[in-house]
Amino acid sequence: MKKRCVIFGANDFGSMIKFYVEKYMDISIEAYTLDQKYMVESVRDGIPVEGFENLQEKYPPDRYSIILAIGYKSMNDIRKEKYYQAKQKGYYIENVVHPSAIIECTQMGEGNIILENVVMAYGTQIGNANIFWNGCQISHESCIGDFNYFAPSSVIAGKTTVKNNCFLGIQSAVRGNRVLEDYTLIGAGAYMNHSTQKEGVYVPARTVRLENKNSKDFF
């Protein structure tokens, strides 16, 4: 018998996760949920949308689990808040792992979303409620905390620690044996050669348009 599950997040991300889960995992998505004040529809993708406040009355935690389809808003604090609220209600929070991902980690918590072609190499440790978009690489013996967001093709070299609530932009890269402190924000395309400070923001040089130049001048 398939597991039955509710997705927190009645949005495009939630619809995508529903597609992957029902295609690749032995789980049936029975409903979406979100805070009552944000509800704008009662049905999405053919299933009910329920208020989170009283979710356990219709979808009790001894019969249903939850998936957190919540992005990086507020530096992942919303996902963190809903993770703990769901745990207080007694829910198990499912990991979602795309079948193309290569997972060699020695430890993984709950509530992680791991999408296409992610690589988690030998000896990695993964905490709770992280999101790894397609093509991320977490190299050997690295340690990832909780509530982090890895945008597509971001790369962590070996023996690096990413603490909690960090954001790594598209194609960012972190050198090995470094530490990203809580709430670090690394912009798209940045290369981190050093450890970070808590709540630090790190971005690469901006791309600029060459004045008085035309693309046909080059080819």
Grouped pLDDT means (10 residues each) for the chain, 219 residues:
95 98 97 97 98 97 98 98 98 98 98 98 98 98 98 98 98 98 98 98 89 85
Domains of the chain: 3-88 (3.40.50.20), 96-204 (2.160.10.10)
How far is Cα 105 from Cα 110, in angstroms, rounded to an integer? 14
Query: What is this structure's pTM?
Result: 0.95
Burial class (CB in 10 A: 0-12, 13-18, 19+), 122: exposed
Cβ-contact 93, 17 below 8 angstroms: no
Cβ-contact 112, 93 below 8 angstroms: no
- The size of the chain, in residues, is 219
